[in-house]
Amino acid sequence: MEEKVAVIYQAKAPPERNGILKPMKPGGYSDSGADIAYSLQQQNIPVVTPVKDPRVEHDLDWVFPDSLEGIQTAVDNGATIIWLNTVLYQSHPIEAFIRQGISVVGQIPENVDVYDDKWVTNNLLRKNHLPIPKSVMITKENAGNYQLHFPFPVVAKPIRGRGSQGVSLVNTAEELTTILQAMFRSQDYGQALYVEEFLPRQEVTVTVMPPGSYIIHKESVIQEDYWSLPPVRRFNHENGIAPYNGTVAVINNSEILSDGELQKGDILQLCNQCEAAARLVNAKAPVRIDCRANTEGKYLLFDVNMKPNMTGASRPHRTDQDSLTALAARKIGWSFPDLTFNMLKQHWKNSAGR
């Protein structure tokens, strides 16, 4: 039977977890979902879409909502592989289809539920001797009575964040109090927030790919273990923080490290550490790990993104929309279509991939 792919997007916000909320991206990743579906279709890979003749510039013509009804419609229309371009969580509707044997591209939903929590994930990395910034969790209850074990400036952020939304560089205790009160008052992020030491030196982001069979430079390559795409440098920060990619296109503030930099010992070590982190969270698809150097120049891992942004310059009106992962892929000779093709090759079955 010929395999057919359908891409799903986030139709509603994920449920609250332990009083913590993950804010929803406007459009629910339908833009990147359409980039992916169009890219696959251009490669003559059978793609199931909600409308017979999807218009290239209309995102929702290309993707199905990640509701039970939306996924069922995709399956009824012939989809045998569901691309999970959405925020996953335990009891997500896709779990029923995974149990029934549908193939998916993406992470194990219950793993995302656990590791989308920065506090949980960074403690896991620390226990496994991976370098992470000093941090503290501040709840609505203890917001007037917390202790920092590291100096200002600090970074305040949501525990279940999305990119740099809600992330602030904070210079004083008074400023932190004001920002925490505003974040709690907004009710966008729930009852607890994350504060960590500020890392002032170079920021890089590392995309880690899962083990599997890939096509690299037109040759079939078996990757037995997790492996890194070349790291991407972030620059032109706004008040110390990389701006949200919906505001500033990634290609305007990011670049691949030079060939010389890619061979430096600290960068090679960092890639190994990121691969170890991906192994710890049992990634079944790419994860993007944001890293930054402290005052001594040592790189620390500060954010494991279980769902990297996957926008790509596949559609004619979006030529500036390569994501950090797409930028990294270009360094190994992959266009965005090559990236989506190789991601598709890693589709898996059964709830466990366990």
Determine whether domain 5-115 maps to CATH 2.40.50.
Answer: no
8 Å CB contact between 345 and 209: no
Taking the model in full, what pTM does it have? 0.95
- How wide is the angle at C-alpha 191 spanned by C-alphas 190 and 195, nearest 5°? 95
Dig out the tokens for 89 from the structure: 């969580």
Q: Distances in Å between the alpha carbon of 115 and those of 123, 168, 227, 270, 292?
A: 10, 22, 19, 20, 20
Cα separation, 191 vs 82, in Å, equals 33
Q: Give the confidence band of 352 by pLDDT, cuts at 50, 70, 90.
A: very low
8 Å CB contact between 338 and 170: no
What is the fold, at CATH topology level, of the domain defined by 203-331? Answer: D-amino Acid Aminotransferase; Chain A, domain 1 (3.30.470)
Tens of pLDDT along 193-245?
Answer: 999 999 999 999 999 999 999 999 999 999 999 999 999 999 988 888 887 66
Tens of pLDDT along 172-192?
Answer: 999 999 999 999 999 899 999
Q: What is the pLDDT of residue 155?
A: 96
Cα separation, 50 vs 48, in Å, equals 7
What phi and psi, each to the nearest 5 degrees, are found at residue 179? -70, -40
| Residue ranges of domains in the chain | 5-115, 134-197, 203-331
Cα separation, 283 vs 339, in Å, equals 17
Tens of pLDDT along 76-120?
Answer: 999 999 999 999 999 999 999 999 999 999 999 999 999 999 999
Q: What's the CATH number for 134-197?
A: 3.30.1490.20
Tens of pLDDT along 50-75?
Answer: 999 999 999 999 999 999 999 999 99
